[in-house]
A and B are shown apart, each in its own frame.
Chain A
Amino acid sequence: MIWLDVLVQGILLGGLYALFAAGLSLVFGIMRLVNLAHGDLIVLAAFVILLIVATTGLDPFLAALIAAGWLLQRLVLNRVLGRDILPPLLVTFGLSVALQNGMLEAFSADSRRLRVGALESASIGFGPVTVGTLPLLTFASAVVAIFVLNRIFYTTALGRAFRAVSDDPTTASLMGLNPRSVFAIATGLAMVIVTLAALYLGMRSNFDPSIGPARLLYAFQAVIIGGLGSLWGTLAGGAIIGVAQTLGAQINPEWQILAGHIAFLVVLLIRPRGLFPRAVD
């Protein structure tokens, strides 16, 4: 029974990683942008939530983050996007280090947490396995977020624009689309998911300014395992990393992270383009 438990807990943990990864998957799938600051943006959002919780409501903050994502894309990332992946990679690396050290100065290196009272330790029994309410909620949120993103992607005009600029920006712009505006909207949308991910990051574990790069790695692993441009693939990728980590931790607590990385390397060794690639890179 313990293996069933490991499997369930691992998949639920994968929900968290899929949430980390969904925004990245969107941005990477549409514009092949390797955002190395994605993890730090999640941590930043968690700190901002912490700040807002201490003061006011949540709505203006969400709007502010979307605006920040849109501006980031407009002012910075659009300028360096091109055939060469190096410039955006270096810019987001710069952003990552700037964010980490900025947060260190602003919020100190102390570990913080979003307190949600009884929900933190609540659990539900399903026959032989007991699952935490919060992990279950995280997984459900990941499924809903990916479902909604998929609906946007495949049934709306905006989604059509996303797919068009992803496949061929030049032809898309001949049809009257402005790829740069579309990219800016995509980054804005990704920041909504980042906010959601930050909420669960902050509620489920302690966070401090230095943990961004590790979250980025999990997220990227989920995206790559899932395959470029496949959002459900990202969820599957998150689940694979989650199960591998839980399994590793079951054998030896020090092997948790290592097991996740090795699962990623094995998948990449067998399928260099991931499990369910949609778009060509």
Chain B
Amino acid sequence: MRHSVTTRTRTSTVAGIAALALVILGLFLPAFATRSLIQDLFFILTMLTLAQLWNLIAGYGGMVSVGQQAFVGIGAYAMFAGVILWGWDPVPAILLGGAAAVLLAIPMAFFAFRLQGAYFAIGTWVIAEVTRLSVAQWKTLGGGTGTSLPREATANIMGVKAIAELFGVRDAAARDILAYRLALALAVGTMAAIYALLRARTGLALAAVRDNDNAARSVGVDARRIRWLVFLSAAAMTGLVGALIYVQTARVSPDAAFSVTSWTAYVIFIAVIGGMGRLEGPIVGVLVFWALQTAFADYGSWYLLALGILAILTMLFAPRGVWGLIHDRTGLALFPVQRRLVTDVSLT
């Protein structure tokens, strides 16, 4: 008899194939989807990526950050700086966003990792505020009121002409398609990376550090290294998403780009409503968020009120979120990370 440890199940194989099919469909969707659907999907994909990243550091890593808006904002501003100050094309300038987020995350981690629990949450939030207020002093990028991408830069984004010819659409629609495809790539890349991380030894170590720091250390897990790894990678990806969102928006201001409500509160609600600590959770959560937004679109801020109440109710009555409920009822796990011992009987 031979034994092996696996996380794979039949469901996960089917889910994997279905996910692959969805991604391929997503790539060719712009050929027949309306422009407003593409814009909605862009919104869904970017919020999904942000929620997965927050889920990674808080749900799996136990680092409850309320300062993720710092990385969205600094990513957006770094991209704007690349375009406006150095004349970069907006698409490669997105990479500047990721780099800037890492540069911010290093001092932030040095500071915040000394703090526990509530102090960590408030500490990260204050650092995000300090970053917002400092960026608002940057007069060449519009100071407190913000600035727009120059027309020449948005008119000649690389790849837009090709997309416009390929799908036979105007430049503005082609820009949306380009942004959507980049968002798709970021979302798929992020989720694949997180899933790979969780299935590897590092994922086990991460969960161990979250559940009991001291116990994890005692069995030889380097808790510090793993926290740094996860925090910095999440920051880099969040910075890229922030830059991409503002390539599409083409207008930035400190209050919008560093908004704790837009980039952290909603993101947390998405993860909580869908189910924290699971890869499936934010996917369900973002769909609920989008459905609420679409349903209440004509009633002003009522949907945000509904979202807040929904998050409270979820924490009270289904603390593991919608996907937690589904999992408890059916045992369904599309992206399982639980290790199972498999005995290969055929070899006996």
Contacts and interface: CB of A to CB of B under 8 A. Distances in A.
Interface residues of B, number: 43
Contacts of B269: 93-94, 97
7 contacts: A86-B64, A87-B315, A90-B315, A93-B311, A98-B304, A98-B312, A105-B302
A59 to B, nearest CB: 30
Chain A: number of interface residues, binned into ranges: 35 or more
Given A91-B312, A94-B312, A220-B122, A281 B117 contact: yes
A76 B316 contact: yes
A93 B265 contact: yes
A269 interface: yes
Interface of A: 28, 32, 34, 36, 76, 79-80, 85-87, 89-91, 93-102, 104-105, 213, 217, 220-221, 224, 254, 257-258, 261-262, 264-265, 268-269, 272, 281
Interface of B: 58, 64, 66, 111, 114-119, 121-123, 125-127, 129-130, 133-134, 136-137, 144, 260-261, 265, 268-269, 272, 300-302, 304-305, 307-312, 315-316, 319
B interface: dominant SS? helix
A268 B119 contact: yes
A47 to B, nearest CB: 15
A79 B316 contact: yes
Given A89-B121, A97-B307, A261-B126, 13 more contacts: A32-B118, A79-B316, A85-B121, A93-B311, A94-B307, A94-B310, A95-B308, A96-B308, A97-B311, A105-B300, A272-B115, A281-B117, A281-B118
Nearest to B299: A105
Contacts of A94: 269, 307-312, 315
Contacts of A105: 300-302, 305
Contacts of A221: 122, 126
Q: Which 4 A-B pairs have the closest CB atoms?
A: A98-B308, A94-B311, A97-B308, A94-B312
Contacts of A102: 305
